[in-house]
A and B are shown apart, each in its own frame.
Chain A
Amino acid sequence: MTHQQPILNTSPKVSDEIRRTTCYMCACRCGINVHMKDGKVAYIEGNRDHPVNKGVLCAKGSAGIMQVNAPSRLKAPMIRTGPRGSGEFKEISWDEALAIAVGWMEPVRHEAPEQLAFFTGRDQSQSFTSFWAQSFGTPNYAAHGGFCSVNMATAGIYTMGGAFWEFGQPDWDHTKLFMLFGVAEDHDSNPIKMGLGKIKKRGAKVIGVNPIRSGYNAVADEWVGITPGTDGLFILSLIHVLMKAGKIDLDYLSRYTNAPVLVNAAEGPDKGLFLRDNDGKPLVIDRVTGELTAFDKPGVRPDLSATYEKDGVTHRPVFHLMAERYLADEYAPEAIAEQCGVPAKRIRAIAGELARVAFDEAFELDHEWTDFRGEKHTKMIGRPVSMHSMRGVSAHANGFQTCRALHVLQIILGTVEVPGGFRFKPPYPKPVEAHPTPHSKSTPDTPLDGPHLGFVRGPEHLALKEDGSPARIDKAFTWENPMSAHGLMHMVISNAHAGDPYKIDTLFMYMANMSWNSSMNTKGVMEMLTDKDENGDYKIPHIIYSDAYSSEMVAYADLILPDTTYLERHDCISLLDRPICEADAAADAIRWPVIEPDRNVRGFQTVLIQLANRMKLPGFTNEDRSPKWKDYADYIINHERKPGIGPLAGFRGENGDKEGRGEVNPEQLNRYIENGGFYVAHIPEGADYYKPWNSAYQDWAVGMGIYDSPQPYLFQLYVEPMRKFQLAAEGHGDRQPPDHLRGRIKDVMDPLPIWYETDQTGNEGFTVNALTQRPMAMYHSWGTQNAWLRQLHGRNPLYVPTKLMRELGLKDGDWAKVTSPHGEITVPVMEMAALNDNTIWTWNAIGKRKGAWALEEDAPEATKGFLLNHLIHELLPPKGDGLRWANSDPITGQAAWFDLKVKIEKAANPDEMTESQPAFDPLESPVGTGPKNLAWKVGE
Chain B
Amino acid sequence: MTQLPTSTDRKMGLVIDLDTCVGCHACVISCKGWNTENYGAPLSDQDAYGGNPSGTFLNRVHSYEVQPEQGAAQLIHFPKSCLHCEDAPCVTVCPTGASYKRAEDGIVLVNESDCIGCGLCAWSCPYGARELDQAEGVMKKCTLCVDRIYNENLPEVDRIPSCVRTCPAGARHFGDLGDPESDVSKLVAERGGMDLMPEMGTKPVNKYLPPRPKDKIEDQIDILAPLLAPVADEPKGFMGWLDKALEKL
**A and B: real partners?**
yes
Assess whether B75 is in contact with A246, with CB atoms less than 8 Å apart.
no
Assess whether B53 is in contact with A791, with CB atoms less than 8 Å apart.
yes
Assess whether A55 is in contact with B229, with CB atoms less than 8 Å apart.
no
Assess whether B235 is in contact with A323, with CB atoms less than 8 Å apart.
yes
Assess whether A12 is in contact with B23, with CB atoms less than 8 Å apart.
no
Residues of B within 8 A of A4 (CB): 1, 97
CA distance A185 to B75 in the complex (A): 15
Assess whether B24 is in contact with A193, with CB atoms less than 8 Å apart.
yes
A785 at the interface (CB under 8 A from B): yes
Assess whether A11 is in contact with B65, with CB atoms less than 8 Å apart.
no
CA distance A65 to B217 in the complex (A): 45
B125 at the interface (CB under 8 A from A): no
Within 8 A of B (CB), among A9-62: 9-14, 35, 37, 42-46, 48, 53, 55-62
Assess whether B246 is in contact with A303, with CB atoms less than 8 Å apart.
yes
| CB nearest to B65 among chain A residues | A833
Q: What 0/1 pattern do residues 909 to 940 of A give for CB contact below 8 A with B?
A: 00000000000000000000111111111110
Q: What 0/1 pattern do residues 352 to 363 of A give for CB contact below 8 A with B?
A: 110110001000
Residues of A within 8 A of B217 (CB): 207, 221-222, 346, 349-350, 353
CA distance A782 to B220 in the complex (A): 45
CA distance A3 to B1 in the complex (A): 6
Q: What 0/1 pattern do residues 68 to 92 of B give for CB contact below 8 A with A?
A: 0000111111000000000000000
Residues of B within 8 A of A522 (CB): none
**How far is the CB of A247 from the nearest CB of chain B, in Å?**
7
The residue from A3, A785, A859 contacting B103, defined by CB atoms under 8 A apart: A3
Asked whether A65 and B33 contact (CB < 8 A) given A323-B238, A933-B47, the answer is yes
Assess whether A2 is in contact with B74, with CB atoms less than 8 Å apart.
no
Asked whether A348 and B221 contact (CB < 8 A) given A62-B33, A934-B44, the answer is yes
B171 at the interface (CB under 8 A from A): yes
B170 at the interface (CB under 8 A from A): yes
Asked whether A197 and B246 contact (CB < 8 A) given A62-B32, A213-B72, A214-B75, the answer is no
A305 at the interface (CB under 8 A from B): yes
| CB nearest to A4 among chain B residues | B1
The residue from A219, A254, A323 contacting B21, defined by CB atoms under 8 A apart: A219
Assess whether B249 is in contact with A349, with CB atoms less than 8 Å apart.
no
Asked whether A858 and B51 contact (CB < 8 A) given A12-B151, A55-B165, the answer is yes
Q: What 0/1 pattern do residues 203 to 239 of A give for CB contact below 8 A with B?
A: 1000100000111111111110100000000000000
Residues of B within 8 A of A35 (CB): 37
Residues of A within 8 A of B30 (CB): 45, 57, 59, 62
Assess whether A792 is in contact with B228, with CB atoms less than 8 Å apart.
no
Asked whether A930 and B231 contact (CB < 8 A) given A5-B102, A935-B135, the answer is no
Assess whether B37 is in contact with A937, with CB atoms less than 8 Å apart.
yes
Residues of B within 8 A of A57 (CB): 26, 30, 166, 168
The residue from A197, A218, A931 contacting B76, defined by CB atoms under 8 A apart: A218
A860 at the interface (CB under 8 A from B): yes
A244 at the interface (CB under 8 A from B): yes
A599 at the interface (CB under 8 A from B): no
Residues of B within 8 A of A185 (CB): 22
Chain B interface helix/strand/loop/mixed: loop
B218 at the interface (CB under 8 A from A): yes
**How far is the CB of A194 from the nearest CB of chain B, in Å?**
5
**How far is the CB of B229 from the nearest CB of chain A, in Å?**
6
A270 at the interface (CB under 8 A from B): no
Within 8 A of A (CB), among B35-73: 36-38, 41-55, 57, 63, 65, 67, 72-73
Asked whether A304 and B246 contact (CB < 8 A) given A245-B227, A937-B42, the answer is yes
CA distance A12 to B26 in the complex (A): 24
| CB nearest to B231 among chain A residues | A246
The residue from A198, A214, A250, A355 contacting B170, defined by CB atoms under 8 A apart: A198
CA distance A794 to B45 in the complex (A): 14
The residue from B48, B97, B147, B230 contacting A930, defined by CB atoms under 8 A apart: B48
The residue from B73, B150, B214, B231 contacting A244, defined by CB atoms under 8 A apart: B231
| CB nearest to A856 among chain B residues | B50
| CB nearest to A9 among chain B residues | B147
CA distance A14 to B162 in the complex (A): 13
**How far is the CB of A811 from the nearest CB of chain B, in Å?**
15
Within 8 A of B (CB), among A430-455: none
Within 8 A of A (CB), among B178-223: 211-218, 220-221, 223
Within 8 A of B (CB), among A414-436: none
**How far is the CB of B26 from the nearest CB of chain A, in Å?**
5
Residues of B within 8 A of A55 (CB): 165
Assess whether A194 is in contact with B214, with CB atoms less than 8 Å apart.
no
CA distance A353 to B57 in the complex (A): 43
The residue from B67, B135, B170, B245 contacting A194, defined by CB atoms under 8 A apart: B170
Residues of A within 8 A of B65 (CB): 832-834
Asked whether A10 and B151 contact (CB < 8 A) given A2-B3, A4-B1, A197-B168, the answer is yes
Assess whether B168 is in contact with A777, with CB atoms less than 8 Å apart.
no
Assess whether B165 is in contact with A938, with CB atoms less than 8 Å apart.
no
Residues of A within 8 A of B243 (CB): 305
| CB nearest to A929 among chain B residues | B49
**B residues bordering A, Cβ < 8 Å?**
1, 3-6, 17, 19-26, 28-30, 32-34, 36-38, 41-55, 57, 63, 65, 67, 72-77, 97, 100, 102-103, 109, 111, 135-136, 146-147, 149-154, 157-158, 162, 165-171, 211-218, 220-221, 223-225, 227-232, 235, 238-239, 241-243, 245-246, 249
Inter-chain pairs besides A56-B166, A833-B67, A863-B51, 11 sampled, C-beta below 8 Å: A3-B5, A4-B97, A14-B153, A55-B165, A58-B168, A196-B22, A214-B23, A222-B214, A930-B49, A933-B48, A936-B36
6 pairs, A vs B, C-beta closer than 8 Å: A222-B214, A250-B242, A348-B221, A348-B228, A788-B29, A833-B73
The 8 closest A-B pairs by CB, nearest first: A352-B224, A930-B49, A197-B170, A858-B51, A833-B73, A193-B168, A937-B42, A197-B169
